[in-house]
Structure formats: C-alpha cells, structure tokens
Structure 1
C-alpha cells in the first residue's frame, strides 16, 4: 500500500531576520522557519542537513522525533517533518508551528507547537504543515474554505494570495499535502477452471427496432467517449500540476541556496542558480513558474557580472601619422607603447589623457613585430634582434640585443622588473635577459647573456602560445583553450572556475604586477573574462559587433580594457 500525494508549496518573502522554506523529497516533506540575523544562510545550512538525512528517511516516529530534536537551535523557529510509510504518516514538530488535517468537510488541528503524531491517511485527506509566521498570518477558520474541490497547487495559490493580502507574510511557509490516491498491490488473477460465466447466461429476446437501438447505442457511446476524454484531460492536468509543483519546490530550494552562497562561495552559488534555471526552463511559460524564473535569471545575471557592451574606438593611430596602423601594444603604468608597422614608427600614448608622442622608428625597426615598454625604454623585436627606443632622447638603436643562435620563433616580448622575456613558440622556451649595471657603448644600460627562464625539468608545449603576461609569475595563453602559469621557472596548476559558457579555443591573456585580476580575451566567444589570480570567475564583458581583437592590455587604474583590432585601439569600460 502506497500514498500518491499532490503537493503544493507556499513561501512568503524573506528578509535579514526572517526566512521560511518548504522541504520536498521523494520520501519526506516538511517546513522550516528561521528567525535570526543572517536567516537565509542559517536556513540553507538547515535544509542541507535535512536533505542529507532524508536520503535515507526514518521509518519510525521515534527516529523522526530524535532527528527533529537535533535540528532545534536558537535561530530555528519551526521545524515540521512528515514521512509517509505505506498509508501511515509520521509527523513531528519542534519549535512553533501547526499541522492541520482536512478530512471530508471538516478541518482540525492535529498538532500545535512541539509534538509528534502518527496515523493512517485515506484518499482525499489534506495535511497542511504551517510555520510559526504562517499560523500567525492565517487564522484556522480561514483555512476551511481554501481547499474545497481544489488540487494542492490551486490551494497553495489561493493561500499565497491570502497571505499576500494579510501583509504579514515575511518568513511564512506552508506545505499542502493532499492524498489523491492510495495504491495497493493488485491480487493475482484467478485462472478459470469452468466455462466462462458469460457462456452460461441466457439473454432474453429484446423486441426493439434496430434503428432505435442503433441511435441509443451511438448516444451512449458518445457519452462514454466524452466522459473518458474529460477524465483523461483531468488526469493529465492533475499530473502536470504535480510536475510543476515538484519543479517549483526543487527550484526554490536551489534558488535560495544559490543566493545564500553567492557571498561565501560564488562559484557554488552560480552553479545552484544555473541548476534552478535549467529545471524551470521547460515550464517558463507557466504563470506559476514565471515569477520564480524571472528572479532566478535576475540573480544569475547579477551573479555572473555579465556586461554587454560594444567596444568603442579609443584611439586611431592614423591620427599620429597618415596611414598609421598599430601592430602591437604594451602598457607600463599610464603609458601605452604602440608599434606602427606601416610607418616603422614607435609611439607612446597616455591612457588617461590620450596625449600621443612619436618616440622613434626608422630602418632599425623595419622588420619589427612586438613591443615591450618599461620605464623610459621601449623594445621592439625584429628579424635581427631587439631594438631599443629611448623616450628621454627619442633615440632608436638597432640590435640592442642581437639575435641569439638559440632563438626560434619569437612570438611575444614582455618587460618586467627591467628584465626582458621572449616567448619562443618554435623552441618551447621562454628566454630571459636580466638587466645589469654594465655599461654599453654610449653609456646604455645593458643586459646579461641569454638565459632560460623555465626549469630544465619543465617541458611545456608552447607551440600554440598566443600571448604572454608577467606579474611575478609568467602567464601564457594558447590557441587550444589553455591558460598556463609558471612561477620561478616551474609550471603551477591553474584551474579556471565558474566560467559559463566555458572558454573557447583562441585565448589571449593579460595581467601585470599592477593588476589585481587576470583578463582572458576569448576571441571565439567575443568576450573578455575576468578571473582572480586563483582562477575564480569574477565577470565578463561581451559584444556582438565586428571587432575581432588580436591583442589586449588592461589599465585597472583607468578602468579600461584596451583591444587592438585592425590597426585601431578599442576600449571597454571596467564596471
């Protein structure tokens, strides 16, 4: 023998000190209410404990009582638990609250305040589990007219409306448990050993004209078909209502848990909100689901910190020199270094004022590709080595560092702490030149001989590297969806967490010792994803237009993400 329930949930709004919720699992039901500062966080913790215990629900009233007592703390105002076993219901209350039973046309209180009870239920019985605030807001006599010929879902909607009109619904919660069927195991059919009874029946002769008999038969058949159809429609509607009810209860739990976790564990919080969105999605057009779905989406958008904005033109290099086109960018403090491959020129641009200056160029950088800026110097990688441009006297020096025999294909140059780092995608190496006090001709500061940055036992695949950034650790992004981090020459595990949707394949990374965060340009998905330096998702900036960046630098001080696309510099505002 087994109960088949129809369940409805009523949950009022919450605030900092009042929070209520219903509990729904395949084998147990309940209501909780918490009244304390930080009520939602306490409530979610309480629901977690109950959910864990109800994976293997108690099968005796004493066991249920004992478990409920273990939940009672100073912040818990109401815990009501209901466990059906066969056609018997075990019910216990700790704290305040009440349980009502509607049987036939009468409704009565089974429990008020702490206590336990068990008993058999029959088809048509309705139990109402009401938290402390629900009992205060809805008088017992008002419950009588709320359940006549209504499903649990419809009764819950009616009770919700009453609660809202009472204007005292903060923290209130109730669960409506209606037994619509008690299923018993069918007896095995008996095998007939004699002639079927119908064969022994002698029907009297019926003297009715055939036409009249046909009309009556058709009418009866029509009535029968209409009755069956209405019955099927009602059964489908009731089944759908139960499905929606179950989805609402589960999604509400996920929503509340997700909101509560956002400050404590943003990744887990967003996961819970995403789960709530997924289970509500098929029912989003249902008016009972629409409000919760809207709240889930609002909180998920807020939690994802997703900003949709088209990149705006920040600076056109052709304004400095006719036909100018930026090929590479490098940022040092407020100074943006720009290499113009068309005019073989090097510029600086103050990010805060957009004041531009031509600082050098010519044949020394004619084959230039990448720029790195540090202090008063800019360095340009060329076919024959590294050229230097000094901002102090606008002097350009070719092959300030000559190309070494060890070099393969240099794909990025970064200056950090006065030192130079070269990303070699052909040799799978990061070459390092350490700044020294040794004087070069004309009094220039020099660099050490070539060194390997990576430890001898570090053998990463850098063949698909797209970019490099340094903040003390060396960061490398690839064209196959990876972000690598190296510290003191050794690769460190870096896991990206909480990014939705997942990062694409073609990535570019940027950070610096002045940047609090790590920025990932996800070219496949036209967005910039912001992570903390442990890989935890913080925000994302998305666009739909035709801007296809090839490089990115970020000034957190100026609140600008600068994107290089088709020779021009675009920007996104950091919010």
Structure 2
C-alpha cells in the first residue's frame, strides 16, 4: 500500500501576483499568477478547486490533462500563469506542468528535474521517491536547483518546509509556493504470469487407426464369408470409414485451430498488458520499461515456436510491439540526403576526419595533403594545403588557423599556407586519438594513458604539457573520443563520462539498447545536447547534458559514415568524398 507524507511551503504574500497550493485527496496542485489576480481572488480560486469534485474522473494521463484544463477554464485563469500538478492513482503518478512550472524527483542518491514548461508525464512510483512541485520563481529565490537538493539532508517534507520558512523569512520576495511529497510503499511488484496451453493431442492417423479397429471389431470381416453379405458388409465398412475419416480429420483441425486461436489470444492479451505497463513506467523507470519490452519479444518468440510465424495475427502482435517500443524509447527512423560533393574541388578526394568550428567544417585528406574548409551556413568551400600534411591523423580549426597532428607533433597552417610545428611530440605520448581546441588551448586525448593533455596558449606559443584532470580519473578505460563545452565529455565503449574543472561529475544514462557500442560522441558550447554515435547499430543517441536519455535516431547512413558532427540540429556525416546530412527535428 502506498503511503504519503506531504507538506506545503507557502511564502508570505509580498509584492504583486499570487501563488497557492491545493491538496485534494490524491491531487496536489501549485498555481502562480504573476499578474491579473489579486490575493483575495487567488485564495477564492484555491478554495473552489478544493471543493470541486472533478478530480474524481481521473483514470489516466489523458483525463488528468483534461481535469487540469477544466480548472483553468472553469476558474478563469489569466493568460499568464504557471502550474505544477501531480495525481496518484494506485502506484501510478501523473504529472503536469504549465508555463514556468517545474517538477523535481529525488530517488535514492539521484536528484533531477523531471519536467517543465507545457509537459505531461506518468510513471510508476517507488518507495522513497521524493517529488517537489514548484515554479521557476521559487528556484530563482532559492538560488539554484542545487540549493534545492541541499535542503533534503535526510529531512522529511515538514522538516524541509520548516527549514525553508527560517531560510526565506527575511527575503523581500513575491509570493512563492512549493509542495514536497514523499511516497513509501510495501507492495511487491506483480509479475504477469503466462499460462501455457497444451496443444498436444492424438494425431489424425492415430484416430483413424483406432476408428478402423472399432469398425473391424464391430463387423465380422471373416474372409471365409462370401457372396452378397460380404459385398454389403464391405460397402458399409467403406462408407463408415469415409465418415470417420471426414469427422476425425476435420474435427481434429477444428479443435487444433481453436487451441491455436486461444494461444494467440492469450499471448496477445499478455503482451498488451506488458506494453501498457511499459508505457506507464517509461518516464520514471526506462530500464524497467525496456525489460518489459524484452519480455514481450520473448513471449512472441515462444508463440512462434508453438504455432508458426506465418499467421497474420503473429505479424499484428509483432507490429504492435515495434510501434510501442519506438514510442517508449523515442526511436525515430530518419532519411538522409547528400549535402556536398567534394569532388568539385578534386576528383580524388579521400576524406578521413571532421572537425567543426562555428559553421566551418574541416575535412582532413592527408593522402592529398589538404584540408577542405566547408561553410555549412553558406555552402562554400575553401582549403588549406601543405606538404607537411602528409601523414596527418587529426585536424582542428580555430578562427583563421588550421591545425593538424602527425607523428612529429602538432602543426599550424596560417592563411598564407605556411606550416610550422608549434608543439613537438612528447616522448610520453601514447596513442593520441582525438584533438580539440577550446579558448585557444589545445587538448589531446591519449588512449594509452587514459589522459587528456592540455597545452595552454601563452604569449610565445603554448605551455608545457599539463594533465587536465585534478581528481580521480580511474573510471576512464578505453576512451574513443571527447568533446568540450567548458566541461569535458569522454566517450567509452558503453558510457559517457563528464568532467568539470578536471573533476568527475554525475552523468548517468539509461540506454534503450542493451548491446550498444559507442564509436564517437559530440557536443559543443553551442549545443544543449550530447550526441552519441553507435555505428554498428546505425544509431545516434541524443542525451541531455546531465546524461538523461532523450531519444534515438536510426538511419542506414550512420552505418556507412567514417565521422560526424552536429550543427543547427542537423547531423553531418563524412563518407570519403561526400558530406551527407540527417535532419534531427
């Protein structure tokens, strides 16, 4: 049984506007009116919602949305308002935010913002889940969401509210409100058990033999009996045998068809229940939803072994699973198009690596000793070439200068085409596999030492080699790429790590695919997402910058490309002498 502790923080009425909270059985609601509603009017709205029984009609997320819309219309909310709401039905929690509403969740040691803006969501709650309903103004007064996280410190909801009352008492602020909800549950999760239907029965041949034996026993087919009686007897036997043949064969088929139909219907019902449960839990427990999806596929495979896979009903169940899986893990199939053909510059282009600086995409072709500079915004092409570029492995661009790395060290090519070595190879370098320039500083990823080297820009060149890391870096194993946006993100085989100021930060992702493999990651300070490329699975995963999985893009071109970058919500991919693109909207 789900148990609940709740407490409402209600700041003093100061300044303009109004905010307040509603608790009505299992409904919790925070509303904030910045203008257009006086304090007395706001209090009246709160009181009327508390006595309105419309929430009793909530049975799912859709009806929850309709209930909130009803309140907004019925009580004439002004055009500018913010709202955060939650409704508990059984062990499913429905959530909704409007305007500047926000809802946070603390689960175990994890703390994250679940939804904000005009968003709805639902999921299965777990014992110990702590939800906070508030608005952006509350966060602004408090300072940051990290300040919100610091309030917990093993406190219950009422203790948090008491602490806030003391903390915010002296601050001159507009009215702010927040709900703190903590759920506990002793219920065990129920498994859906699939009952087997035994399709085994006697075969038609066995029944025919048995029927014939019965007829032979009933009629004396003595070969010594001759004449008319024998002819009549034999004719009767043949007729009876034919009747038995028809009834046994077709009767068996009808009964077998009935059993198969029951098996299909039972499996479809079980799969439907699991898919429904997976959809409900997806928002708060994506790994649990993915496990349920795997179970539905196992149920389908078992059914195929028992009844075959040629029946139309099997295809319908398979399609039902696929559609729901794509919806739950937000998997999208995308087409692609050719963006630029580099052979307009040379017939023998052999693009190897990409690097993006603002809208300038650099394409390294060390075989031909050239780096092409393609403006993605203007779709215009330039190039830098040098004999020194032969054997280069990596390229980077910073403003008007092109840099490349080769066995001897790092070289820079200026606009006039002159190349000079700016950093000599360090004897302690291992295998340098990635190369970034950020704020003029050069960063190198060494796969052998699991380290990132920083060369800070100086008055007469660059500083000596420094390790970027100031804390523990033991979690780095077999890196494949990195990206910088003030923090540094490092791609491993099956995970992404995030470091800020050289110290490891929390960056946990629940991947929708169990056997995914990372080939490269990409982000920048111009992007608000982290992009993760799995070439083998033809997939591009899109993550929030706190590690939260958002969606997955599938496209056949992703299995063929040798490198990729992201610009203006579009993926640009290199295949030898051509640049392709996938729109990510």
- Normalised-by-shorter TM-score class: 0.5 to 0.7
Tell me which moved more, 272-281 or 465-474: 272-281
Provide closer, same or farther for how the CA distance between residues 321 and 394 of structure 1 changes in structure 2, counting only shifts above 3 A. farther
Contact kept, 8 Å, 2:498 with 2:507, in 1: the verdict is: no
Answering whether residue 415 of structure 2 is matched by residue 415 of structure 1, we say no
Q: Distance in 1 between matches of 2:452 and 2:265?
A: 59
Q: Distance in 2 between matches of 1:247 and 1:473?
A: 49
Aligned to 2:529: 517
Deviations for 1:428-478, whole angstroms, at most 9, x for unmatched residues? 33211123xx421xxxxx33211122457534675x543322234433445
Aligned to 2:412: 388
Q: CA deviation at 1:247?
A: 1.9
Q: CA deviation at 1:561?
A: 0.9
The equivalent position to 1:426 in structure 2, one of 448, 471, 489, is 448
Provide closer, same or farther for how the CA distance between residues 267 and 386 of structure 1 changes in structure 2, counting only shifts above 3 A. same
Answering whether residue 522 of structure 2 is matched by residue 474 of structure 1, we say no
Q: Distance in 2 between matches of 1:520 and 1:330?
A: 16
The equivalent position to 2:271 in structure 1, one of 236, 244, 251, is 251
The equivalent position to 1:559 in structure 2, one of 540, 558, 569, is 569
Instruction: Please give the secondary structure, in 2, of the residue aligned with 1:554.
Output: strand
1:443-522 matched pairs, under 5 angstroms: 446-454=461-469, 457-459=472-474, 465-477=479-491, 481-487=493-499, 488-489=501-502, 496-500=509-513, 502-504=515-517, 507-522=519-534
Instruction: Please give the secondary structure, in 1, of the residue aligned with 2:565.
Output: strand
Instruction: Please give the secondary structure, in 1, of the residue aligned with 2:536.
Output: helix
Contact kept, 8 Å, 1:531 with 1:538, in 2: the verdict is: yes
Q: Distance in 1 between matches of 2:239 and 2:347?
A: 92
The equivalent position to 2:357 in structure 1, one of 327, 332, 351, is 332
Higher alpha-carbon Rg: 1
The equivalent position to 2:323 in structure 1, one of 295, 298, 323, is 298
Q: CA deviation at 1:318?
A: 4.0
Q: Distance in 1 between matches of 2:256 and 2:573?
A: 55
Q: CA deviation at 1:413?
A: 0.8
Provide closer, same or farther for how the CA distance between residues 277 and 47 of structure 1 changes in structure 2, counting only shifts above 3 A. farther
Contact kept, 8 Å, 2:333 with 2:555, in 1: the verdict is: yes
Provide closer, same or farther for how the CA distance between residues 44 and 229 of structure 1 changes in structure 2, counting only shifts above 3 A. farther
Q: CA deviation at 1:554?
A: 1.0
Aligned to 1:239: 259
| Number of equivalenced pairs | 372
Q: CA deviation at 1:305?
A: 4.3
Contact kept, 8 Å, 1:311 with 1:547, in 2: the verdict is: no
Q: CA deviation at 1:263?
A: 5.3
Q: Distance in 2 between matches of 1:547 and 1:382?
A: 27
Structure 1: state its 5+ residue gaps.
Answer: 1-33, 50-206, 441-445
Answering whether residue 421 of structure 2 is matched by residue 399 of structure 1, we say yes
Structure 2: state its 5+ residue gaps.
Answer: 1-55, 65-86, 94-224
